[in-house]
């Protein structure tokens, strides 16, 4: 099953997700440790947005190394 990283909007395969956390009884999956840390620091910030996607359907934050993503 596929989940959406609430920080960057990237698709994450739940069965293979290395980074995840439970918040208010729900499990959230992340593509990288930076996204997990960002969520844990301010979960309501990410849950109160328009979901992981902005109003135009694009991720609200740029996706790249700033979240600790391994691009190689």
Express each pLDDT in 19-55 by its tens digit.
999 999 999 999 999 999 999 999 999 998 745 444 4
CB-based contacts of 45-49 (< 8 A; 24+ apart in sequence): 46/6, 46/7, 47/6, 47/23
Predicted confidence at residue 64, as pLDDT, reads 53
Put residue 55 in one of left, alpha, beta given phi > 0 → left and psi -120 to 50 → alpha.
alpha
56 or 63, greater pLDDT: 63
Structural contact between residues 35 and 22, judged by C-beta atoms closer than 8 angstroms:
no
């Amino acid at each position: 099953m596929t989940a959406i990283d609430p920080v960057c909007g990237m698709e994450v395969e739940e069965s293979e997700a290395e980074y995840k956390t439970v918040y208010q009884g729900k499990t959230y999956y992340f593509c990288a440790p930076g996204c997990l840390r960002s969520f844990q620091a301010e979960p309501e910030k990410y849950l109160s947005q328009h979901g992981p996607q902005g109003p135009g359907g694009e991720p609200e934050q740029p996706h790249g190394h700033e979240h600790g993503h391994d691009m190689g």
